[in-house]
Structure 1
């Protein structure tokens, strides 16, 4: 039964062999296996060279057997090139050299992952779910790279990446001292996004200090409701034309030709002197 249990645990190492960049994952899985088998001490300190102070023959024999077992497990889950490199080394030497070889790569990956976390920002109009999932993945990757984010720090980082339309959501979250997992936070953000979209349709938009008018009102302003002048009929609709006298036109006042009474100089003179006496029979022309 114990052997079957050991075999099942060791299978996590067989799924993906050590190739270099996956060193931290491989090392973590190895530690889990050795913890279950109570052999993790083989990787924590060098094996005693001989029986001596505090080391009995039984303890040394147990160490030798454990070292052989762990070494074979490590070599079996490595790429072919790494096997050739460490075939003659003990387990403690192998893990020490692997750390020197690959920890710099892990540091570079941590730096790049952290940079992406800091630069990831949700833009206005962009759906929140894909961006939140990306942030969660980056934060989980930092944990894999031995740079654990606390739950509070992870939540604060995601909230900080949101644009200012989520300010009320962030304030409510902080004031209510909510303690949610990243998955729960993701669900809350999707709900908040729906609320923001609904509010956007109901709130009046203001541009340049003036309310944005609807399309119908804009069209009316351009001339849709202009008053159409009514057409007048008869003499009032047109300016009356004034006829001019001819050489044969006769003045009804002085009886001379070439002008009409309204233009008669004698009439005007008589009116001025007070000698003009209107006649009821005189035509006004």
Structure 2
């Protein structure tokens, strides 16, 4: 079943190619990370490829390297596969991590615009009195995670402050309680506490 799901996700990616101007880079790249995540190969996108093990390496080190080499080939093929012919020629012999890094640099303007839009929404969004706290927290935490993926991670404290600032007035007691007890909780913990507070 997992292999069938990965295959169907891969076929979806094959339908759209990366535009040479990068206008679809952010959306396509976000979709692209789904397959390696599902196949537990996302680390390939985020980690430089290691040097080949020395002759004194342990069996475990050699085995780990061989698996990473196989995963690298698979992810790199997927990355190059979403490109048009000109870009394919350019990146055919480039490691996945380096491809991602170079593409981000090439199309950073689109990423900058997306960061701005997500930040604007996140900082201006206010929960409407009576709306679901679960829905509100899901939207807020998704945007915080999206900023992290766009290389703008928020500290735990700042993310919590943004969440607290976005709550409707009926949560003022919860906010005061957070400040009094200097809560050091993850967003998931804060979300759970908010759901229980009503």
| TM-score interval for Structure 1 and Structure 2 normalised by the shorter chain | 0.5 to 0.7
Relative contact order: is structure 1 or structure 2 higher (C-alpha 8 Å, sep ≥ 6)? 2
For 1:72 and 1:87, how far apart are their aligned partners in 2?
A: 17
* Structure 2 residue aligned with 1:167: 172
Quick check: which has more Rg, 1 or 2? 1
Choose from 180, 183, 190 the match for 1:185. Answer: 190
The aligned counterpart of 1:82 is 84
CA shift for structure 1 position 191: 1.6
Q: Distance in 2 between matches of 1:128 and 1:111?
A: 25
1:144 is matched with 149
Q: Residue 84 of structure 2 aligns to a residue in which SS?
A: helix
Give the distance between the partners of 2:185 and 2:45, measured in 1 at CA. Answer: 30
CA contact (8 A) 2:125 2:166 kept: yes
Alpha-carbon displacement from aligned partner over 1:10-29 (angstroms, at most 9, x marks no partner): x9xx9667842244775x75
Deviation at 1:83, TM superposition (A): 4.5
* Residue 186 of structure 1, CA deviation: 0.9
Q: CA deviation at 1:74?
A: 3.0
1:104 deviates by 1.4
**Matches of 2:104 and 2:111, distance apart in 1:** 10
The equivalent of 1:134 in structure 2 is: 139
d(CA) in 2 for partners of 1:96, 1:33: 11
What whole-Å deviation, never above 9, does each CA across 1:249-282 have from its counterpart, x for those lacking one? xxxxxxxxxxxxxxxxxxxxxxxxxxxxxxxxxx
Tell me the distance in 2 between the aligned counterparts of 1:73 and 1:129. Answer: 35
Q: How does 1:199-218 map to 2 (within 5 A)?
A: none
Q: How many positions carry a matched residue from both structures?
A: 151
Residues 1:97 and 1:150: Cα distance change in structure 2 (over 3 Å): closer
Q: Flag structure 1 segments of 5+ consecutive residues without an equivalent.
A: 1-10, 40-69, 194-285
The equivalent of 1:108 in structure 2 is 113
1:88 CA displacement:
4.7
Answering whether residue 94 of structure 2 is matched by residue 91 of structure 1, we say yes
Name 1:216's counterpart in structure 2: none
**Larger relative helix fraction:** 2
Does the 8 Å CA contact 1:122/1:131 hold for their aligned counterparts? yes
Q: Shift of the alpha carbon at 1:109?
A: 1.1
From the superposition, tell whether residues 122 and 76 of structure 1 become closer, same or farther in structure 2 (CA, over 3 Å): closer
